[in-house]
Amino acid sequence: MATPTSTALDPAPTATAAADAGQRPAFIPLEANPELMTSLLHKLGLSPALQIHDVYSITEPELLAFIPRPALALLLVFPVSAAYTSHRLAEDAAEAEYAGSGDAEPVLWYRQTIRNACGLMGLLHAVSNGPAKGFVQEDTPLARLIAQSTPLKPLERSALLERTPELAAAHAEAASQGDTVAPDAQDDVDLHYVCFVKTEDGEGKSGTLWELDGARKGPIRRGTLGPDEDVLSEKALLWGPLKFLEREGADMRFSCVALAGSLD
């Protein structure tokens, strides 16, 4: 896997993007840097009880053991290759554009219209769904964003993200403090973030593994996980990041971070 400090970019916008690519707002690409990501989430309103952790391997149990469990979300950074693009287009061709909204939605999904904001989208998907949502503190930018987004349709949610100054300011501060020189907001970077979360069907019951990517047509249901399985369990890794690794062959520009309990 690649180092956990790779910058990442969304793929080219789809034909259904909310705004023309030349007119979309743009953010500086965000490093897959756990310290910066944790600081960003805490600044926006996530409880200090959760933080972002490096995932040094998704195939070696002794390294996975360093992550507090259960892991509530997994963010994967991966290369936007021809193989991935072909797979994405073929899978999306069979799907209708997602139009869900309201409390009955199985997951809260955000369509990405902000250029280079795929890292932020991954973080928002991580904390807006599943058990992590319960760690968002009241009367914070995150709490307000989730509350305002819930009743909206996807394109309306995108517009809300674009006009939320607290989000833009917190992201800009985090993205400018990485370990590597930050690319320009308008640069083309061939890496992308995707988020995997587990939503629970009921207390102590099975749940659903979701792939959440604002560049797709909507949330993608990947399978059912048992009560004791999380996003780092064997099945979740097989249905999620290992599929990406399998497609890319020799290209190893991958990294993972996980949202889980604090080590403090």
Catalytic annotation on 256?
A: no
Q: Contact 170/40 with Cβ under 8 angstroms?
A: yes
Axis crossing angle, helix 34-44 with helix 118-127, rounded to the nearest 10: 60
Helix (H) or strand (E) holding 222: strand 220-225
- Backbone Cα Rg of the chain: 17
Catalytic residue among 53, 192, 195, 256: 192
What b/e readout covers 190-219, taking b as 16+ CB neighbours within 10 angstroms?
Answer: ebbbbbbbbbeeeeeeebbbbbbbbbbbbb
Q: Contact 190/79 with Cβ under 8 angstroms?
A: yes
Catalytic residue among 42, 53, 118, 256: 118
Q: Among candidates 21, 191, 26, which has minimal Cα distance to 114?
A: 26
Catalytic annotation on 192?
A: yes
Q: Contact 37/30 with Cβ under 8 angstroms?
A: yes
Distance CA 160, CA 148 (A): 8
Strand ranges, E, within 56-186: 73-79
Helix (H) or strand (E) holding 61: helix 61-64
Query: Which residues belong to the active site?
Result: 118, 192
